[in-house]
Amino acid sequence: MCSVCRMTPCRSGCPNAPEPKPVHRCDKCGFGIYEGDLYLDSPKGYVCEICIKDMSSMEMIELLGENLKTA
């Protein structure tokens, strides 16, 4: 039994709780994507919400495997 939270195993808020395992890893920044996180499953891999928010519209178009056309 944990001396802090008095549970076996520790609850997620306990400082002795094990680190949660990511569901996926962001292919842009390398950080974990955890249960409940928003992400994009693109043709070029998984991208976390933070990286998506930092991308320009051109980067997003390229990530989705598209190109702009010339009229």
CA–CA dist 51, 16 (Å, integer):
30
Separation of alpha carbons 52 and 39, rounded Å: 8
pLDDT of 13:
82
Q: How far apart are CA 43 and CA 53, in angstroms?
A: 18
Predicted confidence pLDDT, tens digits, the chain (71 residues): 888 998 888 887 888 888 889 999 999 999 999 999 999 999 989 999 999 999 999 999 999 999 999 99
Nearest to 44 by CA among 31, 61, 56, 57: 61
- For residue 37, the model assigns a pLDDT of 96
Bridge partners, residue 39, by sequence: 48
Strand, coil or helix: 64: coil
pLDDT of residue 18: 86
pLDDT on residue 62: 92
Write down the pLDDT at residue 21: 92
